[in-house]
Structure 1
């Protein structure tokens, strides 16, 4: 096991439901310095686990373990932290409680403060649903978070993104007629189908028109669809995916007792130095949405990822996009 477990005990969620014996899986990179000023929090995205974040961590990179203490907490529902697949009955499978982004960040806060006794965070960063957690960190703990760098993600799930995720969810629900059948009926075909639904959204029109998938070693469009997308979600637990989809659909930094749904107030409360990196061809976490959010934040700069790789410009697949993201992190971390 290449990660550690932080026991949370019985956790009361935003919904009021109690998740018994909850736990957070995490991995750290580097060493915490004496004054505990070198902490980076880097949450995982939908369907990802900590190792999916490692492409952005390393010597010579902004997230250099020789310089920073990088904490990668696994999203609740991802199969390593408390999830439908590893929770005991009667809260296993489809009975797993609804966990919000706010819940996730509140539990990560416990990890950071109780396990490591950290009171200041130099940077929070993340991709996609990890970016949404990044925004939530800055809104929930504005006095603690010094910098944020969300890439390919927004401060809330805007209506069009909600609709996209509803389509992804429907591919799993339809396969098993989930409303009347158990999780055991969710067959592999549903996991292949979710990849096909995602295929038209994860990358841009230009990515497909230019056959950029050939850079990943695929010989044709059909080869890419079967070799990349059909396998993308295979091996994952369908109930875990549905739990994470619910988390993503209901993300909103203002949906809590601190802001009572006042999204504008929540954005204005973010005092961290911020670099927002939307993909300029991202089809569901759009540049326009980030511009709206950034214009209402106290200290935000918009640095679009100019790339045909769409949402997956933030996934670590294209070297040019990776260099751009790393450069922005270096720029931000050098700012006082």
Structure 2
């Protein structure tokens, strides 16, 4: 079987918490070609449970992320099943023993990919949806001189307390299934995955989305139950629960100031971001409400608040679900790249 992605070997990778991720691997996909001066690269990290191919809806000829103009690098997040994850790490650090990985760890690994493997010293832009947005903010704070532009969309620089609580519900649903067996399941815990999907369903789309019955009228499902089973349970069932929990921990502990650079000073971390930024929340996002983005922009010296006018909730930002939102995002990325 031929893989459609590459693997960058990180070796024994020291994590932020002091643990070692042994023989760590970072999976990535490349679109386009790096130019002679190596200054046309765009980094586009993945999101919660997503893999590189789940990012491809925003890449294409004539789009902002045009492989004829730019070299677009999509690194897969640790825990997503392609980069080092509970599901693909050999014993003894497999499954429930997989170490805790932060967004800071992910971005340090990506920095090594960019600088050591590709020889890139400066990026044109870093952009990403959801947890990809979390990583985008980390890039801006950790390596403030390394990019011209930042465009986090439907994401945040720090996991809000309300967001943390929502994720506790997802975690509880996954782990309550008796088949989960504290992460040492021999058969996939279907009940837990289906329950987690139902928890997610109330948050991924907005109240207005459901009020307007867009699940039926636009997405074409036969009923609300059909949408919950086919879209949401169908989304979760192929995924590995330990992988989901590993990335969930990364999400809950996301904070651009939780490192030795900023020692918990969140405003200082935001203030250190030099790149010109468009911070683009979904207007009805229940995970990352626009007020959080306004607060971030208030402390960033070169940022503009650009809300996505959409009732598609968190899914205004991906993964290519609503063509109107895709066009809005693409137009704003083109505008930022042209500036």
TM-score interval, smaller chain: over 0.9
Q: What is the aligned partner in structure 2 of residue 269 from structure 1? A: 272
Following TM superposition, where does structure 1 have runs of at least 4 consecutive aligned residues deviating by more than 2 angstroms? 176-186
1:184, CA displacement in angstroms? 3.2
Structure 2: distance between partners of 1:36 and 1:331: 22
Asked whether the 8 Å contact 2:86–2:98 carries over to 1, the reply is: yes
1:180, CA displacement in angstroms? 5.1
Asked whether the 8 Å contact 2:96–2:183 carries over to 1, the reply is: no
Structure 2: distance between partners of 1:287 and 1:179: 38
Aligned residues: 335
Structure 2: distance between partners of 1:235 and 1:41: 27
Could you say what secondary structure the match of 2:47 adopts? coil
Q: What is the aligned partner in structure 1 of residue 328 from structure 2? A: 324
Could you say what secondary structure the match of 1:122 adopts? strand
Structure 1: distance between partners of 2:17 and 2:101: 8
Structure 2: distance between partners of 1:181 and 1:7: 26
Could you say what secondary structure the match of 2:49 adopts? coil
1:176, CA displacement in angstroms? 3.3
More moved, 177-186 vs 2-11: 177-186
How far does the alpha carbon of each residue in 1:142-172 deviate from its partner, in whole angstroms, 9 at most, with x for none? 0102110000000000100111111111111
Structure 2: distance between partners of 1:181 and 1:58: 39
Out of 89, 92, 103, which is 1:90 matched to?
92
Out of 209, 212, 216, which is 1:210 matched to?
212
Gapped runs of 5+ residues in structure 2? none
Out of 285, 297, 308, which is 2:300 matched to?
297
1:178, CA displacement in angstroms? 5.7
Structure 1: distance between partners of 2:151 and 2:172: 31
**1:115-130 map, 5 Å:** 115-130=117-132
**1:86-235 map, 5 Å:** 86-176=88-178, 182-184=184-186, 187-214=189-216, 215-235=218-238
1:28, CA displacement in angstroms? 0.3
How far does the alpha carbon of each residue in 1:256-308 deviate from its partner, in whole angstroms, 9 at most, with x for none? 00111110100000010000110010011110000000110010101101111
**1:304-323 map, 5 Å:** 304-315=307-318, 316-323=320-327
Asked whether the 8 Å contact 1:42–1:125 carries over to 2, the reply is: yes
Structure 2: distance between partners of 1:299 and 1:225: 41
How far does the alpha carbon of each residue in 1:106-132 deviate from its partner, in whole angstroms, 9 at most, with x for none? 000000000100000110000000000
**For residues 181 and 279 of structure 1, do their structure 2 counterparts lie closer, same or farther at Cα, with a shift above 3 Å needed?**
closer
- TM-score (ref. length: structure 2): 0.97
Structure 1: distance between partners of 2:194 and 2:15: 32
How far does the alpha carbon of each residue in 1:57-107 deviate from its partner, in whole angstroms, 9 at most, with x for none? 000100000000000000000000000011011100000000000000000
Structure 1: distance between partners of 2:274 and 2:198: 40
1:55 aligned onto 2:57: yes
More moved, 220-229 vs 245-254: 220-229
1:252 aligned onto 2:255: yes
- TM-score (ref. length: structure 1): 0.98
Structure 2: distance between partners of 1:255 and 1:177: 35
1:223, CA displacement in angstroms? 1.3
More moved, 234-243 vs 173-182: 173-182
Asked whether the 8 Å contact 1:176–1:186 carries over to 2, the reply is: no
Q: What is the aligned partner in structure 2 of residue 74 from structure 1? A: 76
